[in-house]
Amino acid sequence: MNHEDRSRRFDGLARRYGDDLFRFAVWLCRDRALAADLVQETYLRAWKALDRLQDENAAKSWLITILRREFARTFERKVPPIDDIDDVVVAEPNEDGPDDRTERDRLRDEIGRLDAMYREPLALQVLLGLSIAEIAEELELSESAVMTRVFRAREQLKKRLSNALPGEPE
Q: Give the CATH number for residue 97.
A: 1.10.10.10
Q: Give the per-residue pLDDT at 80.
A: 56
Residues 69 and 97 in one domain: no
Report d(CA 66, CA 45) in Å as an integer: 7
Q: How many CA atoms lie within 13 A of 17 on its CB side?
A: 29
Domain that holds residue 139: 91-170
Structurally, the chain folds into a number of domains equal to: 2
Q: Indicate if 23 and 95 belong to the same structural domain.
A: no
pLDDT digits 0-9 by tens, 34-75: 999 999 999 999 999 998 888 888 899 999 999 999 888 887
Q: Which of 128, 147, 111 is nearest to 68 (CA)?
A: 128
Is the same domain home to 170 and 98? yes
Q: Are residue 160 and residue 100 in the same domain, yes or no? A: yes
Q: How many CB atoms lie within 10 A of CB 122?
A: 21
Q: Which residue, of 81, 109, 125, is where some domain finishes?
A: 81
Helix, strand, coil shares, percent, the chain, to 5: 75, 0, 25
Q: What is the pLDDT of residue 46?
A: 93
- On whether both 77 and 97 belong to a single domain, the answer is no
Predicted confidence band at 83 (pLDDT cuts at 50, 70, 90)?
A: low
Report the alpha-carbon distance of residue 128 to residue 122 in Å, rounded. 10
Each residue's pLDDT tens digit, 86-130: 565 555 555 444 444 467 777 788 888 888 899 899 988 888 888
**86 lies in a domain?**
no
Same domain for 170 and 95: yes
Tell me, yes or no, whether 22 and 69 share the same domain. Answer: yes
